[in-house]
Structures are given as C-alpha cells and as structure tokens.
Chains A and B, each alone.
Chain A
Amino acid sequence: MRSRAERRQVAEWLLRGALLVVLGIALWRTFQRDSVSTITRSTKTSTFATDFAGIVTNPAVGAIDLKVDAMPSRTERDALVALRRIGVIVRWSDIPPAIAVEVERTREPEARARVLVTAATRTPIALVDSAGLIDSLRAGADASVEAVSVVGAVRAEQGRFAASAYAPVPDARRAVLVLGRADWETKFVMQALNEAGWSVRARIPTAPGIAVNDDGLLPLDTSRYDVVVALDSSSAELAPVIARFVAQGGGLIAAGAALEWEPLRRLAPARAGDRRPGRILLADDSVTTRDLPLRPLSLVRSDAVSLQREAPGVTLAARRAGLGRVIALGYDESWRWRMLGGASGMGAHRRWWSSTVGSVAPDRAAAALSIGDGAPLASLVFALGKPSSPSAVSSQGGARDPLPIALLIMAALCLLAETASRRFRGAR
C-alpha cells in the first residue's frame, strides 16, 4: 500500500507529463500554422458569386476584403456569414445607399398594392416589378405609391442598388352594413361603396315599423361584415350589437346622431357639433369637401387622431376601440360632392368613401412573403457588422481559434498544481 506522499509524487509526475503533452501540441500547432501562410482575398459583391468557389476551396484564404459595389443578395449574405463561421475574416467597405421598401394591400375590394419607400437621400428611385416600371420618385424621408396590381417582387432601384418586397396575398372583403334613413346621403353612400366593389347590405327605415331591409342582416359579426356605417339616429336600435361588433374587431363609421347613442358614444372619437351650412355656390361652381354643409366634430377624445379638417373644424377623427376601429364623421351630406362635384366629383366621392371604410376594416391580408429583401443595408450590417476600411485589417476581430488559449490555460494549471504540490510537501 502506497503512502500519501508517494501518491502525491505520482500525481506530480502525471502533471509534469500533461504539461509536456500540452507544450508538444502547442509546438506542433505552431509548425502547422507556419506551413500554411494565410492570404487576404479582395472581391466585390458584383463578382462574389463567381469568386465564392475559389475562396471556399483555397485553405490559404484567411480574410476577405469585400467591396460593396452592388447590393448583396440574401444568399450572398448567408455565404459571407458562413465564411465567418469557419474562421475567415470578412471585412466590407463602401456603404451602399440606404433604401427600404415595403408593400401592403389597401383594405378595399380592389386591394391595391401600396408601396412604401424610404431612402436616406433624395436620389431618384425607380419602382419596378416583374412587369416593368411602376413609377419613379424621390423618396427622401418616405413616400408611397399605389398600384392597382403588381407582378412578383417590387424593387426600389437606385442605380445598381435595390431593395425588394412582395405584396401580401389579398383576402376577400366582407360586407359593409349601411344604416341610415331614406335620404340622399344613405342612397349615395351605398352607391359609392357598391361602385367601389364593396358588398353592401342596408337597413333603411321608411316609415314607423317599416324598413327597406336586406334579408338576414343579423347576426352582426366579423365573419360576415367588415364595417358598419351608421349615418344617423336610425342605428339606435342596433347600437348595442354594433358596440359588440367593434369590440370583436369590426370597423365603425358613425356620423351625426349616431355618435350620440350611449353604446356608440363610448366608442366614438368625438361628437358631432352644431350644423354649419355649406358654401353658397355660383352657377358653375363645383363642390368639394370644403364646400359641404357639415357638423364639425367636437369633444375629440385625447386618444383620437384627427384625420381631416376643414375651416370650421375637424371633420374626420379616428380611434381604436376594443379590437376594432371607429371613425367619427362630420359630413352628413357628402352626396352633394358626388352630384355637384363636376367631372371628378363622382370618382372622388367614391374613392373617399371606399378608402374611409377600408381604413377601419379589419386587416385580413395574409402576411407578406418573407423572401423579399426590404431593407438590404440593415440586413448587411446585421449579418456582417459595421463596415470597415481595408487598412484596418489587424484591428478587426474576425473569428478566433480558441485552441491556443485553451492550451495556455491547461499548461498554467498543470504547472501551478505541480509546484503547489511540491511546496506543500516541503520539497523544492
């Protein structure tokens, strides 16, 4: 049986042996590294795809200096990230222009594509899809363009640099329920929405106990309806049902007395104020929203947003209520805009009503395809970090080999343990 001191001596020999092994490995690694001299490869994003195979198959390439002369695609960015992960230092320079593009669908039956563009500079940007040029613009801070249809990806191009995005797939719209008295406003609101492609259902009281009704109006829920348009006091009977519909995510546009009924008043962004007469028209005048008689909105709530204003006051205000959205409307004779608005009045009235209804309709569009590249510069920085100049090679981190540090720590621990053991048993 060995004594404790003998066991200790055996352990010290083992530690010495381990130390020698570690030093041996370090020596071997040093000779290995020296035998393969690393090189830095310069390339450009426009030629990176063709250069990639050469970089990957050449073990001598330890770093890449990438000049961004065209926006790298998602695939190229992934390839650069992969190179970093296998220890190749990737540096990039020449910051491309910051452009971002997004495509959304208007919540209307036509489901036009709305292209939102942002750029850091006011250099002209061309918007193109697979079918050709859509429009050109100077975005600056931001800009939007509507197109009836787009084919494939929408690209915002600034020279050789481009951002791209896909429009979400539109979903079929549900019906709009119009509640109003038998008058011209009700008739022409229905007509405008019908012309814009909405499926319109209505309940129009014409005498006590008698109403012009579409069959099966109820139940009022978001699976059947997108929006309720309550034009006057005739909606009072359905006010509690409408309030529940809005809480579930439905939209509501309310005007005049409809804003006064208790269940709706709690949802409404504002109340209808006193009536103001419209402008007195001369023989050849055309009516616009400025000239309409209206009830400017009053008591606009603090969480409401004023969307439209005329000289007498706010005419359109919106707020969220539950899961739905509510618009308070100051106009109750918009039909005059359509009838007396000259050549453009009818179309303008139709578009205004359709977009107002669409603005409170639930968003049912499927999520946009994620295969676009909406903000390529941001994605590049996210993937590769900040850009750098080629001269700053040594200062760049890159991917480090963890083995030398591990060997150093192991050697130090072995040496420390062996020395401490000897000292504690009194040997030198």
Chain B
Amino acid sequence: MSDFVFATAQYESGDWDSAPLVPANIIDTIARYTSIDIAPSGVIVPLSSPSLFRYPLIYLTGHLPVHFGPSERTNLQRYAERGGLLFVDDHNHDIDGVFHKTATEELSRTFGVPKPLPKTHAIYKSFFVFEDGPPTTSHELNGWGDNLVHKTLSGVEREGRLVLLYSSKDYSSEWNYHPENKKFLSVDNTKFAVNLVVYALTR
C-alpha cells in the first residue's frame, strides 16, 4: 500500500515553482488532521512525462503565461480520462493577469470550459464543512491582485467527479509559508487543502 504523494506540476512555460512551500505545508496539514498515509515530502512532475500518471492529484500554479506543449496537453487529457484531478491556482489572484487568461484558455482547450462550482459541491464537505463555499484568502481581503473576493471555484467534471479544479483565490500565496508558522495563526488557513486531498482520494 503506497503513501499519498503530493505532486507539483512542472510545465514548460512559466514559473511553475512560484510557491515552493505549499507542498510541505499541505503535507503537514494532511498529517495533522487525517489518518491518510502521506509521504513526508512532495515530488515535482513534468506534465509531459509518463510519471504524471503515478500521481492522480497534481497541483499547478504560477504567475506567468501558461502554454502547454502537445505532449503536455495529450498527457493531461489522458490523465483526466483515467481519473486524475488537476488543481490549478492563480498565484496572481488577478483575473486580468496573464496567468489567468492564458491558463484558462489552455485548460479550456484541454479539458473543456471550467464552470463555477455550487456552494453545495462535495468538495466543500469532503472533510471540513465550508458552508459558504471556498474559504476566503487574506490576499482577497487585502485587495491585492484584482481586488475581488471570488465566491466560487470553477471546475470541469466528468461522470460526476472533478477532473479540473481552478481557483482564482491565490491559495498559492495563502499557503506558501513554513508549516512551523501555523502556530501563529488563530485559524488554520490550510484546512481547505484537506478537503481537496480527501475529495481526490475518495471520489
């Protein structure tokens, strides 16, 4: 029985490694709240590599324009077909930014157009219950980026399960800190990551 391994997507364009502390923080959160067997460190997986299929949940972020090469696109399509889930987060938190515009275009070409998820979606109840939909980030409240609080995440579903989850909320900034610093927060702001991982493992 293999442990769950948190994987970060490496793509040929853009700055795929813009949030290097997110994996360690999520791993810490999963170990803290759940009984899921999780590997102590994450991995980086090129989207064009067959290794992608070893990690059925993968996290992709960045600030810069995104362009998938043919092998990246083909791999991602097969990945979704076989049951993988790609979580994409806009590290700019800006719907006028280049990441959002290029990434949504690429993702629409690859998976189909993402649609807003209702607040009743299973991902908001898979472990912790988020009655109001996705938790707000401090970057949204501070008015950075597009100065908007995004009420929903969007996604593409196949046969009742998400194959793509897209966030404009900038969880990459919100979760990009050393896990040790969680003790300074009154409320753990990484709890939604538990929902993401539990959803991926049980749906």
Q: Do A and B share a complex? A: yes
- Given A182-B202, A183-B37, A206-B202: A339 in contact with B56 (beta carbons within 8 A): yes
CB-based contact B82/A338 at 8 Å? yes
Complex: chain B residue closest to A232, CB-CB: B1
A166-191 interface code vs B (CB 8 A; 1 in, 0 out)? 00000000000000011111111001
- Residue A218 lies at the interface, judged by CB distance under 8 Å to chain B: no
Query: In the bound complex, how far is the Cα of B121 from the Cα of A46, in angstroms?
Result: 69
- Residue B155 lies at the interface, judged by CB distance under 8 Å to chain A: no
Chain B min CB distance to A30 (Å): 87
| Contact-residue size bin, chain B (C-beta under 8 Å from the other chain) | 20 to 34
The A-B contact count (CB < 8 A) is 82
- Residue A284 lies at the interface, judged by CB distance under 8 Å to chain B: yes
CB-based contact A339/B53 at 8 Å? yes
Complex: chain B residue closest to A293, CB-CB: B2
Q: Quick one: which of A183, A194, A333 has the most chain B CB within 10 A?
A: A183
Which of B17-25, B28-36, B62-70, B164-172 forms part of the interface with chain A? B28-36
- Residue A405 lies at the interface, judged by CB distance under 8 Å to chain B: no
Contact of B127 among A188, A206, A336, A340 (CB under 8 A): A206
A336-372 interface code vs B (CB 8 A; 1 in, 0 out)? 1011100001100000000000000000000000000
Query: In the bound complex, how far is the Cα of B49 from the Cα of A129, in angstroms?
Result: 48
- Residue B50 lies at the interface, judged by CB distance under 8 Å to chain A: yes
Query: In the bound complex, how far is the Cα of B34 from the Cα of A205, in angstroms?
Result: 9
- Residue A12 lies at the interface, judged by CB distance under 8 Å to chain B: no
- Residue B4 lies at the interface, judged by CB distance under 8 Å to chain A: yes
- Given A187-B201, A346-B81: A333 in contact with B1 (beta carbons within 8 A): yes
* A207 contacts across to B, CB distance below 8 A: 33-35, 127
Query: In the bound complex, how far is the Cα of B198 from the Cα of A102, in angstroms?
Result: 47
Query: In the bound complex, how far is the Cα of B49 from the Cα of A202, in angstroms?
Result: 33
Q: Quick one: which of B34, B201, B203 has the most chain A CB within 10 A?
A: B201
- Residue B109 lies at the interface, judged by CB distance under 8 Å to chain A: no
B174-203 interface code vs A (CB 8 A; 1 in, 0 out)? 000000000000000000000000101111
Could you list 16 examples of A-B contacts with CB < 8 Å?
A: A181-B37, A182-B34, A187-B203, A188-B83, A206-B35, A206-B36, A207-B35, A212-B202, A283-B49, A338-B82, A339-B53, A339-B54, A340-B53, A340-B54, A346-B82, A346-B83
Chain B residues with CB under 8 Å of chain A are 1-2, 4, 33-37, 49-50, 53-54, 56, 81-84, 126-127, 159, 161, 198, 200-203
